[in-house]
Each structure stands twice: as C-alpha cells, then as structure tokens.
Amino acid sequence: MIKPHGAEYLQPLIVSNAAQNAALLATAERLPSLLVNSAAAANAVMLGAGYFTPLRGYHDRADTLSIADKMHTTDGLFWPVPCVNLTHAADGITPGARVALRDPNVDGNPVLAVQTVSKVEQLTAAELEHIAERVFGTVDRAHPGVATFLEQGSTLLAGPIQVLNYSYFERDFPETFRTATQIREEIVQHGWKNVVAFQTRNPMHRAHEELCKMAQAAVGADGVLIHMLLGKLKKGDIPADVRDAAIRKMVELYFPANTVMITGYGFDMLYAGPREAVLHAVFRQNAGCSHLIVGRDHAGVGSYYGPFDAQKIFDDQVPAGVLTIKIFEADNTAFSKKLGRVVMMRDAPDHAPEDFVQLSGTKVRDMLAAGQALPPEFARPEVAKILMHYYQNEG
C-alpha cells in the first residue's frame, strides 16, 4: 500500500490505550484550560486520526509563514496549509506549559487534547492578512474561509499534542466517521491495491456518480473511497447527515457491490480552492489512496478561483516527488442528450450547451424546496427524494 506522507508509518496522535487515555484525562482536568476555536479543534481531530501525518502538533510562527509562502516547513517538510492553534488570549500560558484544550463543539466543552506549548507568539495584522492571501488567494472577508481565519485571534500556540477523542464525529456519525488508520485497515481487508478518492461536501448527483466510475476505470482502481467532510460548513450547504443518507442510497442502488467505501472525516471546510485541494491529496495519501479526483472548482467558493486552478497547482507549485498519490484531473461532467449518458464535457467537443442537462446549485435548491422533481438525467430519483424531504422540512 502507498506510504503515508513524509513517514514510513502512519502517526496518529490519539491516545488509544484506554488506561493511558483515562490517566491523561484525569491529569488534564487539573491543567490550565483553553477553549479552542472550531478550526483548531478540527486540526486536533485530524492530527489524532492520523490524517495529518507526520505532524506532531500545531505549527509555530516561522513554520506558518514558511508554509504560507512556500508550502513547506522550515525543516523542509512539504505541507500546503498551516495547522495552527490561534486564540485571542493566552493569559498565563507560557512556553513549557501543558494545557487542556477544550472542545467548542460539544456541550460542556470537554477536554479534546492536551498540548505541550513550545512557543507563544504573536502574529501581526499584516502577517495574518499575508497568510490569508497566500493560502486563500484573497483577503476579502466575504470569503468564508478568510473570514473564519481572520476571526480566530492573533496569538499562536505552537507545540505537540496528545488527542483524547474525536469530538462529536464518532457520536454523530458512527457509521461514517473513520480515521486514516481505519480506512487503511479496511482497504487491506478488501484486498484493494489501488483506491481512488472522491472528496465531497455536497450530495452526489448523476455527474458525480459517473465521475467516480470513470475515474476508477481510467486509473484501474480496485475501489472508490467516497470521503465526505463532516465538519463545519458555510451557511446554505447541506448538513452531513442528509448528504450521508443520499450518498448511501446512491451507492446501494447504482454501484456494483463491494466497490465503494463510504466514509467521512472530521474537519471544517476551508474553501481554500487550490491549497485545500493539495491538503486533500496529502491526507488521502495518508488514508491509503493511490489517486484523488480533482474536479472543476475543487474546494472553491464563489468566483475566487478559476475553474481548474485546483488542478494547475499540482503542476505549477507542487514539487515533483513530494507526493506519491496521483491526481485524476476531471472536467465538468453533465448528462449528454445526444449520447444518452453522462460525459466529461471536454470529451464532447461537438456538443452545444443546450445538448447537456445542467442545473445550477441555486436552481436545484429552488426546485427541491418547491417540491419539484429534478430531471432523472441530473439526479437519481431516490437521491432527489431524500434531498427534497430535507429542503421542504428544514432547508
């Protein structure tokens, strides 16, 4: 199986031994506490689950700026997005201190992890904007990722962490949340050699379904990992439980048996376009995947990125050899009225726009909210039914 990024073996930071976990939790209750923000909590979950191998904790100022500028740490490790614990105040926290990091997303704010603080540093407003511009390509606060980043505070707490649990993800998504370790183990159980990963924060329509099948055939993969984001999204995105139900129904009815793993990971969406696409590749390699589908406007939002910037970054800015995972570059997919099937639009140069069935996200939401059936060429009826129920009752 493909090796993890920057390491011979996966390096999850979860304290998995029950006795050691209980002892550390008891110690943590006596330590100074810090209620972290959701982004720092999500980073802790990803570190705990092995997805952020080989990181040992949160980056310091020098590494954060180096990653923003060059996509590698000061000691040369390739990494596309800084893993930080930013806060507005760190009163009484000094280098060398151990701090209990408390979860902002669970009632009662239980201890999520214990951090050994190596540095307490301040980022200037100019440095924060510079990091945002490099990572997100903009400092426009209308960009949801930029707004979230710039609201986290300017005090940077660096240092290694020990993770005690996976926040709300195991509880709320017991059938879907999986660590990188668990995914690797399941790949072995299936006997798969090559696995193509599909990233999604949205429900999957006919085009997504066929894209997975096209990619699997093109790269000769034994199976497909449908890997959905389970964390925080921007307003208007469909909740994870609804997406999960829709995707499971689609796979049950329209994919060959034993060819798909439906899983999810505990991270908040960054909407960082190209940089986030590279981060997606890093942690899919850590999960044991040989290929990642990178499609049109991958991890994008609004019009901040070009339609294929998330593919170009792998050619233009990712040094050869730093990643083992390969990228399957996908074009926009749509149902061809001429051919009677879903195609990648670049493979149909003789088609006019009216030869495709395409709907905007806004149009889809409006139709579902109004109880109107989506065209079967666009969405499987069983999937559309689940989405329609959501929009009519809660959306």
Catalytically annotated residues? 201-202
Contacts (Cβ under 8 Å, ≥6 apart) of 148: 39, 268
DSSP character string of 133-179: HHHHS---TTSHHHHHHHTS-SEEEEEEEEE---TTHHHH-TTTB--
3-state SS track over 31-75: CCEEECCHHHHHHHHHHHCCCCCCCCEECCHHHHHHHHHHCECCC
Q: Are 105 and 168 in contact (CB under 8 A)?
A: yes
Nearest one of 17, 7, 91, 18 to 56, comparing CA atoms: 7
Q: Give the separation between CA 241 and CA 258, rounded to whole angstroms.
A: 22
Do β-strands 98-102 and 33-35 pair in parallel, antiparallel, or remain unpaired?
parallel
- Amino acid in the structure at residue 305: Y
DSSP for residue 355: G
Q: Token digits for 205?
A: 């329509």
